[in-house]
Amino acid sequence: MNDKWLSLSIKGNDDTLEIVSSFFDRYALGSQINSDEVIMYFQTDDKQILENILNYINLKYNVKSHWGSLESENWMSNWKDFFTPVSIQGKVLIIPDWDQSNYTHDYVIKICPAMAFGTGHHASTQLVIEQMLQYNIGNSNSLLDLGTGSGILSILAQKMGASKIVSIDIDSVCEENFYQNCNLSNVPKMNFIVSDVHQYNNYQYDTILANIDKHNIVKILDKYQETNSQALLLLAGLLVSDLNDIKACMKKCYIDTIKQKDEWISLAIKKNNE
């Protein structure tokens, strides 16, 4: 593991920060939001690509940015300063591993905030969780989690009662954190596969989750419509402005539910009756 990581601080209003941070999702190893500031962490090798993204953002949005660096051993101490529990609809609670309090939520997910994707603070994760609760995916006999990251959605599915769960992520650094979070949350070890989600062709599941980005979701939708899968498809990582593009891709399926939080949306999609 690297001894140092790049940090990028961006200051602006809440709505702008949510949108701006999404431009870095492909490269960010982690992020934390504090009031009017988002701080993201990256590998040092990605600096030039990140600079190009930042130049584009500076032309389009009114934000202030600052580069810095972080020693690896300071990562956890930084998280302890910023990490707060995340409650969704009073039923799901996401807490850090150092939190020893007792809670009465139906589902408590305990994670180690490491250099991996997903702490539950982002609106897109919370929207998917709301969809999971609405559709009671605990009744699913099988569930596929595409782009699982730290495993929060898979862990929740397990706690809700879903049986066969397959979790996929292209980033191998997530795997150790994924299993660590399973252990912290007291759920059985699940099937984690290191792979590009588009190389996984089995869509024969009751429920499919994908909290990624528009580009990858379009590919997932295309594949979903090419198969005879009747899965409930819960998608997130989308902005309101992405909705028309997503609708344009839909030939054999329809949107059953749309949930929105600020500029972010989540879609529940089902196959057309043929």
Task: Retrieve residue 237's tokens.
Answer: 């990582």
Check residue 71 and give its pLDDT.
67
Domain range for residue 12?
A: 4-81
Q: Which of 81, 112, 129 is the last residue of a domain?
A: 81
Q: Domain holding 229: CATH number? A: 3.40.50.150
Domain assignment present for residue 237? The answer is yes
Domain assignment present for residue 134? The answer is yes
Q: Domain holding 41: CATH number? A: 3.30.70.260
Residues whose CB is less than 8 angstroms from the CB of residue 45 and which lie 6 or more positions away in sequence, other chains included: none
For the chain, give me the number of helices (H) and strands (E)? 8, 14
β-sheet with 142-146: strand ranges across: 191-194, 164-169, 142-146, 207-211, 232-239, 264-271, 253-261
Check residue 82 and give its pLDDT.
62
Domain assignment present for residue 216? The answer is yes
Nearest Cα to Cα of residue 115 among 149, 145, 147, 146 = 149
Check residue 81 and give its pLDDT.
65
Distance CA 159, CA 254 (A): 28
Check residue 1 and give its pLDDT.
45
Domain assignment present for residue 102? The answer is no
Same domain, 130 and 262: yes
Specify whether the CB–CB gap between 270 and 252 falls below 8 A: no
Number of domains in the chain: 2
Same domain, 75 and 133: no
Residues whose CB is less than 8 angstroms from the CB of residue 119 and which lie 6 or more positions away in sequence, other chains included: 30, 32, 83, 86, 94, 111, 113, 150, 152
Domain assignment present for residue 104? The answer is no
Domain assignment present for residue 91? The answer is no
Q: What is the mean pLDDT of each run of 10 residues along the chain (274 residues)?
A: 75 82 75 78 82 90 88 61 83 92 95 70 90 97 94 97 94 87 94 94 96 91 96 94 94 96 91 81
Same domain, 206 and 72: no
Distance CA 274, CA 267 (A): 21
Check residue 184 and give its pLDDT.
96
Q: Which of 51, 81, 111 is the last residue of a domain?
A: 81
Is the alpha carbon torsion for 111, 17, 126, 191 positive or negative?
negative
Same domain, 66 and 127: no
Domain assignment present for residue 93? The answer is no
Same domain, 72 and 129: no
Q: Which of 55, 81, 107 is the last residue of a domain?
A: 81
Domain assignment present for residue 51? The answer is yes
What's the whole-model pTM score? Answer: 0.79
